[in-house]
Amino acid sequence: MQIQEPMPKRADGTTMTPFEWMGGEPVVRALTDRFYDLMDLEPRFATLRGVHGSTLDNARDRLFWFLCGWLGGPQHYIERFGHPRLRARHLPFAIGVEERDQWLACMAQAMQDTGLPGGLQAFLNQQLYGTADWMRNQPEAPAAPVAGDGSGTT
């Protein structure tokens, strides 16, 4: 991930990764668990929940492994599965604007509930928008039809 300022510095003056700033694996695990708990519980994420299978157990582990590496920590996901090919892996699921926006809102809420530093939340929300939008594989809803024949005379 491309890291921009402001990120906190380590004692030696080098820049921390988001993974370190967050508090490492226990916090990434807590964030992932909160994300899927919210998805399971909150009616406003029902469309997103509906895209998933009956159990979220596999998804919990895989997103945790993926996020560790994506945030600049250990590459658990790549060690197990190779290159993430995330867009290809999401093609079996219909992902449109509504699913994307529910995923992002669910993650934003999980970050808040897990108590991530405010600056880190803002930075990650921005980075995740690009990733989630890239996963979209359904066209945006077509514009509502215009009344009349379009000539402006009817």
- Give the helix ranges, DSSP H, for the chain: 18-22, 25-41, 46-51, 57-70, 76-81, 86-90, 97-114, 118-134
Is 89 a residue that touches ligand HEM (CB under 6 A)? Answer: yes
Q: Which residues are registered as beta bridge partners of 95?
A: none
Q: What is the spatial distance between Cα 106 and Cα 111, in angstroms, rounded to a whole number?
A: 9
DSSP structural state of residue 82:
S
Region from 12-20, 23-31, 96-104, 137-145 binding ligand HEM, contact rule CB under 6 A: 96-104
Please identify which residue in 6, 13, 50, 53 interacts with ligand HEM, judged by CB under 6 A.
53
State whether residue 15 is helix, strand or coil: strand
Is 90 a residue that touches ligand HEM (CB under 6 A)? Answer: yes
Q: Which residues are registered as beta bridge partners of 34?
A: none
Polymer length of the chain: 154
Closer residue to ligand HEM, CB minimum distance, 92 or 145: 92
Is 99 a residue that touches ligand HEM (CB under 6 A)? Answer: yes
Please identify which residue in 17, 121, 125, 131 interacts with ligand HEM, judged by CB under 6 A.
131
Is 63 a residue that touches ligand HEM (CB under 6 A)? Answer: yes
State whether residue 59 is helix, strand or coil: helix
Is 105 a residue that touches ligand HEM (CB under 6 A)? Answer: no
Interface residues with ligand HEM (CB under 6 A) are 48, 51-53, 58-59, 62-63, 66, 81, 86, 89-90, 93, 95, 99-100, 103, 128, 131-132, 135
